Amino acid sequence: MFTIGQTAEKVGINIGAIRFYERKGLLGTVERDANNNRLYSDNEVSWLLFIRCLRETGMSVEEIQKFYDLVNEGVETLPERTKLIQGQRAKLLADIEEKKRQMVRLEEKLERYYRGENY
């Protein structure tokens, strides 16, 4: 079990983000110690890491909530969850392709500058 500070460090997000996800209902009931401090299990840390991944790919909190609700409904929602993740993957691949195009433009500009061109 991990404190909220330890969890934040493991996940690479701040404590406020964890509390935000709790308020949004993206975490189940979190265990507490005798002093009423939150304690997070390996499963909760793993889920927070996945939330971070989804957010970094551009998924909204609302979409993550939908995904989380589907997870809690059970295995019968696997096809719908798979579709959501496939859609996010497609968006991410499109973003990667755009970043590659941007990199080519930057490289072209640098080559001009290396040749002494002013534009």
User: Could you tell me which residues are beta bridge partners of residue 31?
Assistant: 39
Residue 37 has pLDDT above 90, yes or no: no
**26: Cβ contacts below 8 Å, ≥ 6 apart:** 51, 61, 64, 65, 68
Distance in angstroms (rounded) separating the CA atoms of residues 99 and 96? 5
Q: Could you write out the DSSP letters of every residue in 6-40?
A: HHHHHHTS-HHHHHHHHHTT-S-PPEE-TT--EEB
The average pLDDT across 5-16 equals 95
pLDDT for 88:
95
Mean pLDDT of the chain: 94
Strands (E), the chain: 31-32, 38-39
Q: What's the whole-number mean pLDDT along residues 101-117?
A: 96
- Model pLDDT for residues 82-99, shown as the tens digit of each residue: 999 999 999 999 999 999
**CA pair distance 93, 88, nearest whole angstrom:** 9
Q: Does the pLDDT of residue 119 top 90, yes or no?
A: no
Closest to 28 measured CA to CA, from 72, 73, 82 = 72
**30 pLDDT higher than 90:** no
Domains of the chain (ranges; CATH) run: 4-114 (1.10.1660.10)
**118 token code pair:** 């002013």
What are 66-85's pLDDT values in tens digits?
A: 999 999 999 999 999 999 99
* pLDDT grade for 48, boundaries at 50, 70 and 90: very high
Q: Give yes or no for a contact between 42 and 49, defined as CB atoms under 8 angstroms apart.
A: no
Give the pLDDT mean for 48-72. 94
